[in-house]
A and B are shown apart, each in its own frame.
Chain A
Amino acid sequence: MRLTRATNKKRSAQTEDVILFVVDGYRFAIAAKAVDEIRNLDELSPLPAALKHPRLAKVKATLIRGKKDPEMVYFVVDAAAHFGLKTVPPERVLVLRNAAAALQVEKIDRMTQISTVVALPSAFSGQERLWYRGLAVLGDQVVPLVAPEAFLNKGEQAVLQASWKGLRAAQGATA
């Protein structure tokens, strides 16, 4: 029987890269892999009246990245409006990956790694169950980890995109 020396391999903890951002003094985390780009407010345009809808009041602007993907329009969600917070002048926009959505926030805090994501306790039974993937513990701070798809779900994106196409077609027809 062959004896092999036991190896003292240390298992590396599963960690996830996140971006911490701030809205009205509250800190949130979003998975770094969910974000395509962090940018300033350049190339943002006010949302056209034809795209405004009472149920999508949190969508404030459109973004077209002229140099990167000019054929793509991103609908910019105001994070403060999404979370029901006081609107604070935003400084940064997070363009979400694999979605026609971007998020405008007060500021970016930093990038960091988290190793533990705790499920939202059952006591929370409101909109937050859609907003958050869970809660992250950073030192002695509890930070909600947002669900990127909650900012604009696929149905909402489809409605906005259809309205956008209709508006562009109408503008093209009158040009």
Chain B
Amino acid sequence: MSFLDVFVSPFSPGTSAAVVFGIGLIFVFLICTATAALLILHFRKEQRREEKRREKGKMENKVED
């Protein structure tokens, strides 16, 4: 058996292959969920920072007026 055979079609249809691949997919799903959570937290933090900057800008304009 060669790795190139594995590369081309590593899993022949069958229960064991489906189980192994299914476990792999679960891990991939968990990784994607965790990454999405990280990104959502980052963008929310950026949004709050942007809102604070705008409010600060408005306050400074009011003081100047």
Pairing of A with B: no
